[in-house]
């Protein structure tokens, strides 16, 4: 058998872009040029050598705020798809492998969750829990479960009748072993691209929730919160919205390229 061709342009470009952004964000958690919450008299200044992205309405350095706030966004995104993917895979594995009543009950519950538009569902959870960083994670995590559950159910169900699984069953392997050791690795080609798309959706969902004023609360900063803040100053400080928006776009673009790259592993270059 020919060795799978792993590296392709999409994957490499995606990894390079994402790593640069990630390193920048991780540095931002330990060091920023200015204290991101320090207010100064230099309000709404245009980008300059001292303030690369300019300053906001309280005279805070936007470059430092974006570095620090992107960390919150990243945390929310990673934790959210963490919750969504783990719970979704679990549900998908159970329903896909067993079928029958388990399948019916869980997937119908799943349908109920999918019936709500995701932002609305997030809103409901937030209105019960109250706003804040961790509640946003929980809310978005719940919102993300149904999608993964449906996807993983298909991935598991498609293997159920395949010979090697039947052999494993005949050899007396436990259900847990079959699911985790035999079936799970074979779902990765479905799961990994879904994770990258999910990550992007989570970044954007956090941004929309904070944008709507139901996400993180000051003094916490996130990209979405800043975007919402910048909205009122589009004319006087356009650099604010632009710099935050650009960072979101680059991050999402980079991870999107990785996802595209993973899907193309082993395929001919197009």
Which residues of the chain form contacts with other proteins (CB under 8 A)?
37-39, 41, 43, 57-59, 130-132, 213, 217-220, 231-236, 270
Number of H helices, E strands in the chain: 10, 0
The residue among 127 and 174 lying less far from other proteins, judged by its C-beta, is 127
Residue 130 beta carbon to other proteins: minimum distance, rounded to whole angstroms: 7
Residue 231 beta carbon to other proteins: minimum distance, rounded to whole angstroms: 5
The residue among 57 and 182 lying less far from other proteins, judged by its C-beta, is 57
Upper half-sphere CA count for residue 18 (Cβ side, 13 Å)? 19
The residue among 133 and 160 lying less far from other proteins, judged by its C-beta, is 133
Cα separation, 230 vs 220, in Å, equals 16
What number of other Cβ atoms are within 10 A of residue 168's Cβ? 16
Residue 257 beta carbon to other proteins: minimum distance, rounded to whole angstroms: 11
CB 44 within 8 A of CB 57: yes
Residue 236 beta carbon to other proteins: minimum distance, rounded to whole angstroms: 5
The residue among 112 and 234 lying less far from other proteins, judged by its C-beta, is 234
Residue 131 beta carbon to other proteins: minimum distance, rounded to whole angstroms: 7
Residue 260 beta carbon to other proteins: minimum distance, rounded to whole angstroms: 8
The residue among 231 and 246 lying less far from other proteins, judged by its C-beta, is 231
The residue among 89 and 210 lying less far from other proteins, judged by its C-beta, is 210
């Amino acid at each position: 058998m020919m060795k799978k061709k792993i590296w392709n342009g999409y994957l490499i470009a995606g990894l390079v872009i994402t790593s640069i952004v990630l390193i920048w964000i991780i540095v931002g958690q330990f060091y920023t040029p200015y204290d991101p919450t320090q207010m100064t008299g230099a309000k709404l200044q245009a980008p300059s050598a001292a303030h690369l992205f300019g300053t906001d309405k309280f005279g805070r350095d936007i470059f430092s705020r974006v570095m620090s706030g992107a960390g919150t966004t990243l945390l929310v995104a990673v934790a959210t798809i963490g919750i969504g993917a783990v719970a979704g895979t679990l549900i998908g594995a159970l329903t896909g492998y067993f079928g029958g009543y388990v399948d019916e009950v869980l997937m119908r519950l799943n349908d109920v969750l999918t019936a709500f538009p995701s932002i609305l569902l997030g809103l409901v959870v937030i209105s019960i829990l109250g706003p804040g960083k961790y509640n946003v994670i929980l809310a978005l995590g719940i919102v993300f479960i149904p999608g993964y559950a449906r996807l993983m159910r298909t991935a598991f169900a498609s293997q159920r009748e395949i010979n090697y699984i039947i052999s494993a069953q005949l050899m007396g392997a436990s259900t847990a072993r079959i699911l985790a050791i035999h079936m799970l690795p074979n779902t990765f080609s479905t799961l990994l691209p879904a994770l990258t798309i999910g990550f992007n959706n989570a970044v954007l969902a956090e941004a929309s929730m904070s944008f709507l004023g139901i996400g993180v609360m000051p003094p916490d900063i996130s990209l979405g919160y800043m975007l919402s803040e910048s909205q009122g100053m589009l004319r006087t400080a356009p650099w604010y919205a632009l710099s935050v928006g650009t960072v979101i776009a680059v991050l999402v673009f980079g991870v999107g390229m990785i996802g595209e790259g993973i899907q193309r592993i082993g395929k001919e270059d197009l």
